[in-house]
Amino acid sequence: MTQATLLALLSHWWRNPLQLFTLLAGLALATALWSGVQAVNAEARASYDAAAATLGEAQYERLVRPDGQPMAQATYVALRRAGWLVSPVVQGRLEGVRIVGIEPLTAPGGIGPVAPQEGADFGSFLTGEGQLFANAETAARLPDLDVIISPDIAPGTAVTDIGVAQRLLGKADLIDSLIVLPAQPRTRVPLAEIAADLTRQPAQGGSDIGRLTDSFHLNLTAFGLLSFAVGIFIVNGAIGLAFEQRRPVVRTMRALGLPLRRLILLMGAELMIFALIAGIIGVALGYVIAALLLPDVAATLRGLYGADVSGTLQLRPSWWLSGLAIALGGTALAASGALSQLARMPLLAAAQPRALAMAAGRRARLQGYAALVLLVLSAILMVTAEGLIGGFGLLAGLLIGAALALPLLLDACLNLMSKAAKSVTAQWFWADTRQQLPGLSLALMALLLAMAANVGVSTMVSSFRLTFTDFLDQRLASELYVRTDDAAQAAGLIGFAKDRVDAILPIQSTQTTVAGQPTEVFGARDHATYRDFWVFLQSTDDAWGTTFAGRTVLINEQLSRRAGLDVGDTMTLQDRDFQIAGVYGDYGNPIGQAVLGEAIFGMLYPDVAPRNYGLRMPPEDVPDFVAGLEAATGIPATQTINQAGIKSISLAIFERTFTVTTALNILTLAVAGFAILMSLLTLASMRVPQLAPAWAMGMTRRQIGWLELLRAVMLALLTALVALPLGLALAWALLAVVNVAAFGWQLPMYLFPADYARLGVFALLAAALAALWPALRLARTPPADLLKVFSNER
Amino acid sequence: MNVKALLLLCWMPCVATAQGFAGLGTEVDGFSVPQPNPTFHFPSDHGAHPEYRIEWWYLTANLTAADGTPYGLQWTLFRSALAPETGAGWSAPQLWMGHAAVTTPDNHYVSERLARGGIGQAGVTAEPFEAWIDDWVLQGDWQTMQMTASAPDFAYDMALTAKGPLVFHGEGGYSVKSAAGQASYYYSQPFFAITGTLQLPEGDIAVTGNAWLDREWSSQPLADNQTGWDWFSLSFDDGAKLMGFRLQQTDGENFTSATWIMPDGTTTAYADGALTATPLATNADDVPVRWRVELPARGLDVTVAAINDNAWMTTSVPYWEGPVTVTGSHAGIGYLEMTGYE
């Protein structure tokens, strides 16, 4: 009996291959977008984790010098001999590769090349013969060195023995930081007695890079989730239609004695098989999408945050399994309504070919209430939401509420239009559109979500770009930055630059703790550069004046939010109270920051000497200055950073970001377009009886075709009008609620009307393209078929 | 397996010989090899011999608290050379490993340190004598000495006073380890009186007792068919002492050696076969913790039993090391070390 039932059920799909295709393609596309995005995220996160594990920043406290300069190797030995279980680390860059030197005998487990690789020789690792470990990509960038391929090493990083790293990086007898092992001996001399110049830097508890790049991944995840939602709408539509059409079959089979439970079980099993097939296709497609996107994403992250992400994708079981799981879960979600309806259906209920539409009509009121509740809830959350959960609740409420409200809105709109219509044709057009709306509403909801997501995410990314470039202007106000290695170089630089540049701005900083927050304190020299370029979120009238005079302090937004400090409040540095004169935006910085005047900074932190300098000069003089500096003082060009260079790199990075965003925009729109196409195609066959009277009364088939096309575009236009405010609300929620909760700073929101207009045109094009084939098919319906409507009894 | 374990495998003598053994009297990878009839020079021979592959300063002590509770203590510094050279900096091929332990009747506390030679983090100087790794130190003139070690769960600070002369094992300090003739240089100071404080999670405990310091170095002390050893250092109530070891061979046979030490320090060496050691009972991990030890030439027939069966050293290369009691023809206390039971 089971086999016969299955055959009967499956026969529906053989007779309606298009429906089967819709179901499989919708699900596969949804899974593909979701799992593609997840693959990119997973790859990036694995790279961060590998990077963090290389140095153990996440798990272990460290000892560093507050000025960021390396310490003497003798300090390490002195600490060990005083009972401190610390392990030295040396790091630097060579050919763009991050070289990390570790001491394998004292390093805690889980750091460095822990698993011996093929060809590894620890004798030669330890005795300074120059063995390095890196992945294949990185190894290719270090052709002159003895690199052992080790896939687990973080991208862009080569791990080697500390002695080798010191030699390669020119840091003989120097150590950059000391990892503090978690278990320390019972008897230990206090740090201040051995190395008073070192400070303890707490474990970061999750990598810095991970936190910085979270906002980027959040964008991608939002995209993935919305695409999946769009796909599930398609699947839901296809399943609903198929179940409606199979009611006669179901009725017959049940009348023949098939138990309801077995029927439901079989239909569920049938869907799960489809979901599995579609899931496999989707995961494969997702892999292709991820592989295509990853190089751009990797380049973006590397440029934006200095995070090294592997450009090649690894197939992780957790990833493809979750892809399959979400395909199955999505199908279950989409089918649950249809299956429960089937379970409740009276045994002999008549087949209702248009039941889908009728049911939608009956459900309209309920749907309206649900939408209202969700939107009101979103409005409340907009004011009150705090934290990530609230932020995501707001996003979900907004999107689902708007999607549910869309058919009602469109219906009201069409009702108005039809009342305003004068001609018979126009009246018929509006009335016919209203009648078709229930069948199309799922596809239109998908389009709404896709467009809103595009508006929201592109507004967020573009706002981020604008803010960030402004921020770069503010922070990179000097035309040239020079790093000096010691006091002699610093003196040489000042001597050389004194008469050649407009201003020398020393950059000095130290690490401390303010109100329990790790904070970097800067000393700034009194110069117009700061007054001209820095933008405050909040400040007193003469914030820079009082700060340079040593009376006040300026803090970044992160410190302000986390420590609850505002303009006018007082904070303490080195037992001295300062009033806060201003709060500035500091994007992408994970820790707090405070700026003092140069004089007071020197008094409070007499041991910190500036090693980095910003130089103001006409931009065109920079190349000559750099060449002259090297000739006169021996400070190589590699120790200088040209501001124009940084800015062009930053802009190039944003171009990459946009490549990613645009690709995802196009993909989601394509999914929505596909939804429209499939809805129209399934409707088309049922529409012949409704179009036949119009044809019989004198409309040409060509006219009918055109009107079909026009209808799709008009509905897309109406949807786009709803999508725009929804997208902006989404962008606002992302920038003002989710971003603050996740990263501690708010991004200002900018509007980009030209982008929205272009997006609208794309959406209309997508709708027109989707409607083209169904319209053509209608226009080419043989007159005989139309005539049959009048002669045949349906 | 991690880097450390791999490194340590290179250190352990059995592996070292498997890689490098090339027969008696020849050089092993450029390392020197012990020769019969040695002449020792002190204090310089208390220091390191970097031209040999492996070397150790190995102190064990039987301690008693005021309430009569017995304790055991270990302080060991191993040197292992990747090449027979010294030098300054990270690339110097001398590596150091320290093991410290305290054994109570109920607990066994272990700690391990690793360090590179060449940067001052660990080493041994002969004059004045100081052996150190990190903050662990053994120093003094071999008459009076100080010794400290510290770990997250225990620490100790001890003072030692020699009550007798140095003792040389085998043929004047040339200790043969196999029928094929592998050997090491081996002498001891078994007459240390020791006093100090143990810092344990249970609290600080003042203890006194006697300590036994072994010095041994070689480049290939075991034959390639030898898989581990059982080593006894026993102090009898009448003032006599016994050092004996049994090397386990893959063919099921053993190679034994013993030194009988009179209370005045005069010694008698016993070649292979004179000493027998027979396992009587094992602990939950199949490590024999009760032994019958016989040396008929001295009328010795004793049972050696661990004070704490679970004195397993959870170090990079694990082994068993702990205090024992001696009963039978002779009564006393001592230390037992067993390797090759992983």
pLDDT of the residue at A302: 60
Chain B hits for A105, Cβ within 8 Å = 4, 7, 95, 114-116
pLDDT-based confidence at A653, cuts 50/70/90? low
Chain B hits for A181, Cβ within 8 Å = none
On the question of pLDDT at A351 being above 50, the answer is no
The per-residue pLDDT for range A732-742, each reduced to its tens digit, is 887 887 777 66
- Could you tell me whether strands A640-642 and B54-65 are parallel, antiparallel, or unpaired per DSSP bridges? unpaired
CA distance B91 to chain A (A): 4
Nearest by CB to residue B150, choosing from A83, A112, A166, is: A83
CA distance B1 to chain A (A): 7
CA gap A684, A115 in Å, rounded: 62
**DSSP string spanning B144-188?**
EEEEEEE-SS-EEEEEEEE-S--EE-TBTTEEE-STT--EEEEEE
The mean pLDDT of A535-553, rounded to a whole number, is: 88
pLDDT of the residue at B233: 96
CA gap B108, A278 in Å, rounded: 59
On the question of pLDDT at B335 being above 60, the answer is yes
Q: What is the mean pLDDT of chain A?
A: 79
Chain B hits for A103, Cβ within 8 Å = 90, 116
Q: Do A186 and B153 touch (CB under 8 A)?
A: yes
The mean pLDDT of A443-456, rounded to a whole number, is: 82
Nearest by CB to residue A126, choosing from B82, B111, B134, is: B82
Q: Do B7 and A105 touch (CB under 8 A)?
A: yes
pLDDT of the residue at B198: 96
A103: nearest Cα among A86, A118, A119, A116: A86
Residues in a beta bridge with B291: B279, B304
On the question of pLDDT at A457 being above 50, the answer is yes
Would you put residue A128 in left (φ > 0), alpha (ψ -120 to 50) or beta? left
ipTM rounded to 2 decimals:
0.90
Structure tokens that stand for A538 in this block: 């909040």
pLDDT of the residue at A55: 57
The per-residue pLDDT for range B42-61, each reduced to its tens digit, is 999 999 999 999 999 999 99
The per-residue pLDDT for range A221-247, each reduced to its tens digit, is 666 666 677 677 667 767 777 777 777
Nearest by CB to residue B155, choosing from A80, A81, A187, is: A187
Chain B stretch 102-121, residues whose beta carbon is closer than 8 A to a beta carbon of chain A = 111, 114-116, 119-121
On the question of pLDDT at A571 being above 50, the answer is yes
Q: Do A184 and B152 touch (CB under 8 A)?
A: yes
Nearest C-alpha in B relative to A108: B4
Nearest by CB to residue A186, choosing from B82, B90, B150, is: B150
Domain ranges of chain B: 51-217+224-338
- What does the longest C-alpha to C-alpha distance in chain A come to? 104
Report whether the peptide linkage leading into residue B50 is cis, meaning its omega lies within 30 degrees of zero.
Answer: no
Amino acid, res. B37: N
Q: Do A105 and B4 touch (CB under 8 A)?
A: yes
On the question of pLDDT at A608 being above 70, the answer is yes
CA distance B19 to chain A (A): 13
CA distance A527 to chain B (A): 47
- Does A118 or A394 have the greater pLDDT score? A394
pLDDT of the residue at A760: 87
pLDDT-based confidence at B220, cuts 50/70/90? confident
CA distance B90 to chain A (A): 5
pLDDT of the residue at B8: 45
Nearest by CB to residue A80, choosing from B4, B91, B121, is: B121
CA gap A133, A147 in Å, rounded: 5
CA gap A658, A468 in Å, rounded: 14
On the question of pLDDT at A117 being above 50, the answer is no
Pick the most confident of A178-192, A330-344, B273-287.
B273-287
User: With contact defined as beta carbons under 8 Å apart, do B99 and B315 qualify?
Assistant: yes
CA distance B132 to chain A (A): 9
CA gap B82, A248 in Å, rounded: 84
The per-residue pLDDT for range A300-319, each reduced to its tens digit, is 666 555 555 666 666 677 77
CA angle A161, A166, A168 (to 5 degrees): 95
Query: Among the listed ranges A296-300, A692-696, B222-226, which one has the minimum average pLDDT value?
Result: A296-300
Query: Among the listed ranges A2-6, A53-57, A149-153, B226-230, which one has the minimum average pLDDT value?
Result: A53-57
- Does B113 or A653 have the greater pLDDT score? B113
Q: Provide the angle, in degrees to the nearest 10, between the axes of the packed helices A208-245 and A317-344.
A: 30
pLDDT-based confidence at A123, cuts 50/70/90? low
Chain A stretch 406-445, residues whose beta carbon is closer than 8 A to a beta carbon of chain B = none
Structure tokens that stand for B309 in this block: 């069966």
Q: Counting every residue, how long is chain B?
A: 342
Name which of B1, B8, B19, B91 to mutate to probe chain A: the one with the most chain A Cβ atoms within 10 A of its Cβ.
B91
pLDDT of the residue at A301: 61
CA gap A17, A682 in Å, rounded: 11
pLDDT-based confidence at A71, cuts 50/70/90? very high
A94: nearest Cα among A143, A58, A49: A143
CA distance A79 to chain B (A): 8
Nearest by CB to residue A77, choosing from B83, B121, B150, is: B121
Please state the three-class secondary structure of A723-783 as a single string.
HHHHHHHHHHHHHHHHHHHHHCCCCCCCCCHHHHHHHHHHHHHHHHHHHHHHHHHHHCCCH
pLDDT of the residue at A773: 84
Nearest C-alpha in A relative to B148: A187
CA distance B3 to chain A (A): 6
Chain A touched by B199 (CB under 8 Å)? yes
DSSP B28: B
Chain A hits for B199, Cβ within 8 Å = 186-187
Chain A stretch 152-211, residues whose beta carbon is closer than 8 A to a beta carbon of chain B = 161-163, 166, 183-188
Chain B stretch 138-177, residues whose beta carbon is closer than 8 A to a beta carbon of chain A = 148, 150-155
Chain B hits for A166, Cβ within 8 Å = 90
pLDDT-based confidence at A28, cuts 50/70/90? confident
pLDDT-based confidence at A660, cuts 50/70/90? low
Q: Do B114 and A105 touch (CB under 8 A)?
A: yes
On the question of pLDDT at A4 being above 80, the answer is yes
User: With contact defined as beta carbons under 8 Å apart, do B37 and B44 qualify?
Assistant: no
Nearest C-alpha in A relative to B113: A106
CA distance A72 to chain B (A): 12
User: With contact defined as beta carbons under 8 Å apart, do A93 and A109 qualify?
Assistant: no
The mean pLDDT of A162-189, rounded to a whole number, is: 88
pLDDT of the residue at A490: 86
- Token pair 């055109």 is at which residue? A706
Nearest C-alpha in A relative to B87: A127
On the question of pLDDT at A24 being above 70, the answer is yes
**CA quadruple A424, A427, A432, A433: dihedral positive or negative?**
positive
For B124, the enclosing helix (H) or strand (E) is: strand B122-126
Nearest C-alpha in A relative to B114: A105
The mean pLDDT of A465-486, rounded to a whole number, is: 76
Name which of B112, B121, B133, B314 to mutate to probe chain A: the one with the most chain A Cβ atoms within 10 A of its Cβ.
B121
On the question of pLDDT at B41 being above 90, the answer is yes
Q: Do B3 and A122 touch (CB under 8 A)?
A: yes
Q: What is the mean pLDDT of chain B?
A: 88
- Cα–Cα distances (Å) from A347 to A241, A257, A341, in that order, read 19, 11, 12
Chain B hits for A127, Cβ within 8 Å = 82-83, 91-93
Q: How many A/B residue pairs have CB atoms within 8 Å?
A: 95
User: With contact defined as beta carbons under 8 Å apart, do A432 and A467 qualify?
Assistant: no
Chain B touched by A127 (CB under 8 Å)? yes
User: With contact defined as beta carbons under 8 Å apart, do A562 and A517 qualify?
Assistant: yes
The mean pLDDT of A657-675, rounded to a whole number, is: 71
On the question of pLDDT at A530 being above 50, the answer is yes
Work out the percent of chain A whose per-residue pLDDT is above 90. 7
Q: Do B7 and A122 touch (CB under 8 A)?
A: yes
Structure tokens that stand for B100 in this block: 């410290």
Q: What are phi and psi of A85, to 5 degrees?
A: -85, 90
Helix (H, G, I), strand (E, B) or coil at A317: helix
- Token pair 């927050």 is at which residue? A517
Question: Distance between terminal CA atoms of chain A?
Answer: 31
Fold of the CATH domain B51-217+224-338 = AttH-like fold (2.40.370)
Chain B stretch 50-89, residues whose beta carbon is closer than 8 A to a beta carbon of chain A = 82-83, 89
Q: Do B7 and A161 touch (CB under 8 A)?
A: no
pLDDT-based confidence at B210, cuts 50/70/90? very high
CA distance A117 to chain B (A): 10
CA distance B160 to chain A (A): 20
Chain B hits for A106, Cβ within 8 Å = 114-115
pLDDT of the residue at B27: 47
Chain B hits for A81, Cβ within 8 Å = 120-121, 132, 134-135
Helix (H, G, I), strand (E, B) or coil at B273: coil
The mean pLDDT of A325-353, rounded to a whole number, is: 73
